[in-house]
Amino acid sequence: MMSAISSKPRLLTLQSIALATSLIVFTAGIVAGSPAIGQPMPGQDTTPPPSPGDNIRYGYVIHQSIDLGGHIVDKSGSGPMYATLVNIQSGPRILDSTFEMIAVSPGHGVFDRLSSSSFGYGGDPYDATFLNMSKGRIYDFRGSFRRNRQYFDYDLLANPLIPPESQPFVPRLNSPHLYNTVRRMTDVNLTVAPLSRIRARFGYFQNVNQGPSLSTIHPVDVLILQNWRVSTDVWNAGADWKPLEGTTISFDEFITHYKGNTDWQLTELNYNLANGTPVSLGVELSSVWRTPCAAPFNPNGTVINTCNSYTAYTRSSPTRTLLPSEQFRFQSTSVPHVTMNGRVMYMGTTSHLDHYNENFKGYNGGIVQQVSTATASARRINVNADYGITWQVTPKLAFSDVFDFWYFRQPAAITFTQTTYRATSIIAPPGPPTTVVTTSPPFAGAPEAGFTEVNQKTKNNTFLAIWDLASHARVSAGYRYTSRIITDAGGDFIPIHANWALFGLVLHPVPQLRLNFNADAMSADNSFTRMSPRKLQHYRMRTAYTPRTWLRLNGSINILTDSDNVQTVEHSGHSQDFSFSASINPSEKWGIDLSYAYDNIYSRTNFCYASASPVEGAQPSPPICTQSSLPYQSNGLYNQPTNSGSIGLVFHPIKRLHATAGYRMSSVDGTAPPINVRQVPGSLQSQYQTPYGGISYDIAPNWTWKGDYNYYGYGEGAPNAPTLPRPFHANIVTLAVRYAF
C-alpha cells in the first residue's frame, strides 16, 4: 500500500533527451539494447561476420527485441511492509527492450557498434536505460539513466515513542515516520581515441533525490513534512598518456557541486485553541501527555492555553558545496622485473549555508515564538597519496611495498542568531523579544575569528614478501604499520598507532582444486570511538573445486573478531560468514544451482541509558554513568545470526521450451537490549522466503511467450508490540510476449 503522499518530480533535461531518443530510435527500427557481460574493451574491434538470416540494413547487422506484458499482484497482510520490501504493483509494463547494431565492415558509418537496453518502465520501483556506442579507434561512449523509488514505511521506525512510565497509553499502530523519495541517476562517459598513445576522457554524473518524508521534532513530537530535494553533479575530464611501452600517466580533473534544498513544515494540526486556531499536540502517544490539555480531558473540547503545542513550524537550510579535485596517476611495467603504480589527489572543498531559517509558533514552557537564523561556511582540504612497487627478485620470489598517506583539515565558521518571544499563554500578547547571537569560538592559529577546525593525518605502509614454493603453492607474509593522528580546536590530540601481521597461502595441488587463505592480526595503542578495536583478527578462506566438467563447488569462510578491553568500554565483537555453493549442469537439458550461507554479527559494548524500567541485568548508578540523565548501564549485547539459502533448477527438455524453478529464504534469530519495555525484536527475528518459477515457450519464429510466478512471504517470530502486524504474503504473476527480430 503506497502512502497518500505522492511525489511528481520533474525529469531532468538530459534524462528526458535520453529517454525520448530511445523511443524515437525504437519506433524507427533502431531501438536501444543492453551491453552483455563480458563486453569488449573500448575501441576493441570484435565485429562478427554476418550470419545467414541476419537483418542487414544500412550496412549494419541489426538485432532488436521487446518484452511487453505486466504484473498481476495478489497480496495480503501488511501493505506498508510489502511496499517497503517489494513494492511491485499490478499493471502493464515494458519489461525489457534491447537493440544492437553492428557494422558489417569496420569503418562504416558514424559508429561500428550501437547497443542499448531498458527495463522496468511503466510502474516498477526500479527502471533503467543503458546506451553504448563506439567507433573503433575514434571514440567510445557509454551512458545510463536509472530511477529508484525508495519507499520505507516500517511501523517500528522510531515507534513506539512511548515513555515506559506513561500508563495508560494510546498505541500508535503505524509509525509516524516514513520515506517516499525517488532517486534519479544519470551517468555519461566519452573516451576519445581509446587505443591511441594519448587518449582523452570526459564524463558527467548526476544524482537527484527528491520526495516527501514524515518525521517528528521535539519537545512535543509534532509531525513534520520533510520535502527532500538534494542533487549532486559531477563533471570530470582526464587524459591518459603512454610515453613508453608498459607505462601510463593519467591526469583527471573533477568538479562536484552539491545542492541541498530540503525544507520542513508542520502537519497534522489535530486540535484547536479556544479562538479556533488549529494546533498540534504531537502524535497520539499517551493519555498522560494529553491530560488535561485537550478533549476528552478538557470539558470545553479545546486545547488549554498553557499546554506545550505547535501552531506553526517551518525550517529551511539551503546548502551549496563546491568540490574541485585533481588527481595524478601512473602505472608502469617498463623497468624489467618491477611493477609500479602511484596516485596523488588534492581536494579543496567550500561549503556555504547562507540563510538558515527556523520559525516556531506555539507554546513551549513560556516561549510562544522563536525565530532562528544562521550563516555557516566550511572548507575541507584533503590530500591523498599512495605509491606501490613490486620487485620480482627471482621467478619464485617477489617483494611488494605500498605506502598510503591521507591528510585532511576542516576549518568551519558559524553565526547563529535566536530571537525569543515569551508570554503567559499561547494566546496572550507576547513580551519584548530577547535576541542571542552565538558564534563558534576561535582557536589559536585560526585563519579568522569564529572558525573551528578538525584535522586528521593517516600514514599506512604495507610490506609483503611472496614466495612460490612450487608450481602449486604460494605463500606470502608481511607487516603493516598505521599511524593516525586526530586533533580538533578543543585541544583534543588523539594519536593511534597500529601494527599488523599479514599471512597468505595459495594452494593449487591439482588442476581441479584451488584454495586461498589469508590471516591478518592487528594491535593498536588507542581507539577513537567505543566500537573502534584495539585488537583485531581477520581470517579468510576460499575454495573452488571442479571434480567434473559439469560440477563446480565453491566455499568460503570469513571471520573477523575485534575488541577494546578498556574497563569502561569492554567492547568485543565478531562478524562470521560461512558459505557454500554448487553448480550442477550434467547436460544442456537441465541444471541445478545450490547455495547456503550462515552469517553472524555480534557486538557487546558498555553504554549508559535512561529508563524507568531498566533492562534485565542493568546496573543502577554504575561508576561509568556519571550523568544523572543516564543512570543505567547495559552491556549493549547485540547478536544477529542469519541463515540464508537458495536452490534453482533450469529445465530445457525441448528446443522451444525453457523452464526455471527455485526457492530462496533468509531467517534471522537475533537479540538486542530492550531499552524500552515495549520494544520488540521486529525484523531482528524474522523470516523472508521467495519461491519462484518461470516458463518460456517459442510460439512462432521471433515470438516467445513468457510466464513467471514469484511468491514473497515475510513473517516475525515475536509479538508485534503496540503496532499493526508486519507479516505479509504476496503472489505475483508476470506475463509477457517477447518479439525478437
Q: Residue 14: is its pLDDT beyond 50? A: no
Q: What is the pLDDT of residues 345-389, one digit of tens each?
A: 999 999 999 899 999 999 988 999 999 999 999 889 999 999 999
Place 656 in a pLDDT band, splitting at 50, 70 and 90. Answer: very high
- pTM for the model: 0.83
Place 11 in a pLDDT band, splitting at 50, 70 and 90. Answer: very low
pLDDT reported for residue 298 = 59
Query: Shortest CA distance to 453 belongs to which of 410, 495, 399?
Result: 410
Query: Shortest CA distance to 561 belongs to which of 606, 526, 505, 523?
Result: 523
pLDDT reported for residue 482 = 97
pLDDT reported for residue 293 = 72
Which has more confidence, 355 or 674? 355
Place 446 in a pLDDT band, splitting at 50, 70 and 90. Answer: very low
Least confidently predicted of 147-156, 314-323, 579-588, 671-680: 671-680
Specify whether the backbone of 519 is left (phi greater than 0), alpha (psi in -120 to 50) or beta. Answer: beta
**Cα–Cα distance for residue pair 670/675, rounded to 1 Å:** 15
> What CA–CA distances, in Å, run from 546 to 5, 501, 552, 589, 590?
53, 33, 5, 20, 18
Which has more confidence, 718 or 169? 718
> What CA–CA distances, in Å, run from 740 to 33, 639, 736?
12, 51, 13
Q: Residue 508: is its pLDDT beyond 60? A: yes
**Cα–Cα distance for residue pair 655/475, rounded to 1 Å:** 49
pLDDT reported for residue 37 = 30
> What CA–CA distances, in Å, run from 212 to 3, 117, 179, 376?
10, 30, 7, 26
pLDDT reported for residue 692 = 97
Q: Any bridge partners for residue 658, and if so which?
A: 696
**Cα–Cα distance for residue pair 235/202, rounded to 1 Å:** 8
pLDDT reported for residue 219 = 72
Strands, sheet with 619-620, edge to edge from the N-terminal-most edge strand: 607-609, 632-634, 619-620
Q: What is the pLDDT of residues 243-300, one digit of tens each?
A: 999 999 999 999 999 999 999 999 888 788 888 889 888 776 554 445 557 655 555 5
Least confidently predicted of 56-70, 204-218, 672-686, 696-710: 672-686
Cβ–Cβ contacts within 10 Å for residue 443, how many?
15
What does DSSP assign to residue 708?
E
Range 478-486 contact pairs with CB under 8 angstroms and sequence separation of 24 or more = 478/400, 478/502, 478/503, 482/458, 482/524, 483/457, 483/458, 483/459, 484/456, 484/457, 484/458, 484/459, 484/528, 485/456, 485/457, 485/458, 486/454, 486/455, 486/456, 486/528
Q: Residue 22: is its pLDDT beyond 60? A: no
pLDDT reported for residue 52 = 56
**Cα–Cα distance for residue pair 231/246, rounded to 1 Å:** 40
pLDDT reported for residue 558 = 98
Determine contact, residues 714/665, Cβ cutoff 8 Å: no
Q: The C-alpha cell of 121 is what?
A: 518502465
Cβ–Cβ contacts within 10 Å for residue 256, how many?
17
**Cα–Cα distance for residue pair 102/57, rounded to 1 Å:** 10
**Class of residue 217 by CB neighbours under 10 A (exposed 0-12, middle 13-18, buried 19+):** middle
Q: Residue 16: is its pLDDT beyond 50? A: no
Place 17 in a pLDDT band, splitting at 50, 70 and 90. Answer: very low
Determine contact, residues 426/273, Cβ cutoff 8 Å: yes
Name the CA dihedral angle for 307, 309, 312, 318, rounded to a multiple of 10 degrees: 130
Residue with cell 555480534: 602
Q: The C-alpha cell of 106 is what?
A: 569496420
Q: For the chain, what is the largest distance between any 2 Cα atoms, rounded to a whole number of angstroms?
A: 94
Residue with cell 527475528: 685
Query: Which residue type is seen at 695?
Result: I
Q: Residue 722: is its pLDDT beyond 90? A: no
Determine contact, residues 11/146, Cβ cutoff 8 Å: no
Least confidently predicted of 140-149, 483-492, 593-602, 627-636: 627-636
Determine contact, residues 732/72, Cβ cutoff 8 Å: yes
